[in-house]
Chains A and B, each alone.
Chain A
Amino acid sequence: MTKMNMLQAINNALDTAMAANERVLCFGEDVGVFGGVFRATSNLQQKYGKARCFNTPLVEQGIIGFANGLAAQGSVPVAEIQFADYIFPAFDQIVNESAKFRYRSGNLFNVGGLTIRAPYGGGIAGGLYHSQSPEAYFAHTPGLKIVVPRNPHQAKGLLLAAIHDPNPTLFFEPKRLYRASVGEVPDEDYRLPLGEAEVLKEGTDITVLGWGAQMEVIEHAVEMAEKEGISCEVIDLRTILPWDVETVANSVLKTGRLVVTHEAPLTGGFAGEIAATIQERCFLYLESPIARVTGMDTPFPLVLEKEHLPNHLKVYEAIRSSVDF
């Protein structure tokens, strides 16, 4: 075990994967000698050479097109998109190509080796274009997996699982926690399951669900609620697609209440999908309407970022109103 922040854990996961398999390649903008603008790929070029860790030209659609080809050839590409806000030029390559490669060829070809890493989320004074959470756009695309870690231990185990998973995987990293989240991380290669949510804390009155950086917000909100005697069950979804309906439904069958929270805007956000599925599965057990605590339906603001974001106070209020309904 070594104490690491999330960036160090991600760097360690990439190092572990590259050491174990020479077909693993890391590339993207500024990923080479500089080690990425956040330093997630630090020292990988020095250690594994320029052919396996390198800078690409500044062209996201090219990075992912290139990565799709590499993965189809049998290599194991880990492509970095510098900010999730800049993933959209590659939308066609991800949605029309990566996601459909296996299906359209009848499994003659696949890009299962592909992993796309991208820092996402707000709270860092990044304004419109360094703050977005685009997971819902991709969650509408069968064929992709979408994974979001909440801390360093999860980041290493989930990233290694994503790299080895035989399906193209988007790995969204909560950049607000890159250095803020610190914890013990095993030194060896380990993989956490994809498609499985994790119950972080059991409770009886209400289920509170989130992923990534929002788990820290939930923790604070739940502390406030518990002081008032509300017993909260906390779940980290971890994989957005395909998501773990069973774990969430079983929890809500027990508690009868659900709050879902994410940073992305309300309308069309992934909380809507969860709410629809859970009301279908748990209709007769629900004590109150499923609540969504999310970013507002605006572009991501700058100076008023705190007002926009679904912070612990807003999550706490939603828990309170759900219980008082």
Chain B
Amino acid sequence: MTTTKSKVVYSPVFTDGAEFRIPTFKLLKQDGSLYKGAKAPKLDKEKALRIYRSMVTTRILDERMLAAQRQGRLSFYMQCTGEEAAVIGSAAALDDSDMIMAQYREQGALVYRGFTIDEFMNQLFGNELDYGKGRQMPVHYGSSKLNYMTISSPLATQIPQATGYAYGQKMAGDGHCTITYFGEGAASEGDFHAALNMAAVHRVPVIFLCRNNGYAISTPAAEQFAADGVAPRAYGYKMDVIRVDGNDILAMHEATRAARSLAVEHNRPVLIEAMSYRLAAHSSSDDPSGYRSKDEEAVWREKDPILRMRLWLESKKWWNEDDEKQLQENMRREVLETMKRAQKRPPPALDTLVSDVYDEVPPALADQFEKLKAHIRRHPDAYPKSAEHAKGGA
């Protein structure tokens, strides 16, 4: 039984969807003033400054940690540079109790929610205080108290999980929603399509936020899809969709605020396509000079989302040169001090190797662990991180 109510034709008529042109929502010009006819969203000074401080913190954290990686202090790093407005503007439009299921480049949302620099550092250095117990590569953060699901490396797996998580929130009737972030490359995965279709069919309060940043490692968006971006796919699932200037903090915040109301009040999932640019390399292991030009990067550097917001804040007299200087200095100092502290902390205890595989360690694994400890006791010099922990036991 099909529900299509289409007009009948008597000769073959093909359509290519060209009649659907998706506009881009913008409010803020690069000079910090509003576009003519644009209405500034309700954003009080306190929240605006929380957003701005989060953006600057994210930028400084990224700069310092990439430098630390280059110095060999850290094995790996990924920057959010250029996409701070897309991530923080959307996260700031949610309730702090809403669930965030991110890809891996959304540390800005965590900064906004209040993850401390110490908490970042503990994960990056995989020390004994890392919530993830040193099991995952750097930038795979998670926080249950801040409702930020732990990152997993496989791409797009979090998208259908967000649909399921939000279905549970709808069942619980607690008025919350889930937002899931992913890149335009990840949107090619089957999980993306599964997630959007299921969300539309089951009317789930979930926001799908695609960061269209132009590149999936080296593959440009033009080689990722033939269509006009990711947004038109929403039509196929009968889902509300909006395309936003991802470097425009006010537009990102306003679009996400409206999307949240559709999701939570009307059980309508929404796709947001944030148009931005990955100013940094994919990761510390990548070198963009092999696939894109400095000129192209320069064009996007001119569209810096942080500078754009700063100019807007200054025009409202909410921010000035001294505030900026103080924030920059304080953050740089805090990042350096916490990095030193985190680096000195010991690694996670040896038993974290076998805990959390199941709720309890199964007998066969306990047996393997005892054998490992006995081995380490025979060769303590070969295992400096754990020789001390291996002393106990049979």
Contacts and interface: CB of A to CB of B under 8 A. Distances in A.
Contacts of B169: 73
A143 B132 CA distance: 16
Interface string A77-121: 100000000000100110011001011111111101000000000
B198 interface: yes
B163 A65 contact: yes
A62 B197 contact: yes
Contacts of B157: 65, 92-93, 96-97
A92 B144 contact: no
B137 to A, nearest CB: 10
Contacts of A67: 164
Nearest to B143: A108
How many interface residues does chain B have, given as a range?
A: 35 or more
B356 interface: yes
Given A65-B161, A100-B152, A242-B362, A106 B356 contact: yes
Nearest to B123: A106
B171 interface: yes
A77 B165 CA distance: 11
Contacts of B130: 106
A77 B178 CA distance: 18
Nearest to B159: A65
A279 interface: no
B41 interface: no
A93 B197 contact: no
B168 A65 contact: no
B387 to A, nearest CB: 23
Interface stretch (A49-57, A198-206, A260-268, A314-322): A49-57
Nearest to B367: A245
A102 B360 CA distance: 11
Contacts of A56: 198, 201
A166 B359 contact: yes
B142 to A, nearest CB: 5
A59 B196 CA distance: 12
Contacts of B190: 59, 61, 89
A268 to B, nearest CB: 19
A154 interface: no
A93 B357 contact: no
A30 to B, nearest CB: 14
Contacts of B159: 65
A72 B171 contact: no
A66 B164 contact: yes
A143 B198 contact: no
B149 interface: yes
Interface in A158-178: 166-167
B140 interface: yes
A145 B101 CA distance: 25
Contacts, number: 155
A65 B195 contact: yes
B361 to A, nearest CB: 10
Which residue of B144, B150, B172, B195 has the most chain A CB atoms within 10 A of its CB atom? B150
B331 to A, nearest CB: 26
Interface string B132-153: 1101100010111000011010
Contact of A104 (B101, B140, B160): B140
A178 B32 CA distance: 68
A229 B153 CA distance: 58
Nearest to B199: A66
B136 to A, nearest CB: 6
B171 A75 contact: yes
Nearest to A142: B357
B202 interface: yes
B393 to A, nearest CB: 20
B357 A143 contact: yes
A243 to B, nearest CB: 8
Contacts of A245: 363-364
A109 B171 CA distance: 19
B131 interface: yes
A287 to B, nearest CB: 25
Contact of A72 (B161, B201, B356, B363): B161
A93 to B, nearest CB: 6
B22 interface: no
Contact of A54 (B191, B202, B363): B202
Contacts of B171: 23, 25, 51-52, 75
A186 interface: no
Given A65-B163, A73-B165, A143-B357, A106 B198 contact: no
A246 interface: yes
9 contacts: A51-B171, A62-B163, A65-B195, A69-B163, A69-B166, A72-B164, A96-B157, A104-B135, A108-B142
Given A69-B178, A108-B150, 18 more contacts: A52-B171, A61-B160, A61-B191, A62-B163, A62-B197, A69-B101, A72-B149, A92-B191, A102-B359, A103-B356, A104-B140, A105-B131, A105-B144, A106-B135, A108-B142, A108-B144, A143-B357, A242-B365
* Top-9 shortest CB links A-B: A65-B160, A69-B164, A62-B194, A73-B168, A69-B161, A66-B164, A105-B150, A69-B165, A242-B362
Interface of B: 99, 101, 130-133, 135-136, 140, 142-144, 149-150, 152, 154, 157, 159-169, 171-172, 178, 190-191, 193-195, 197-198, 201-202, 352, 355-359, 362-365
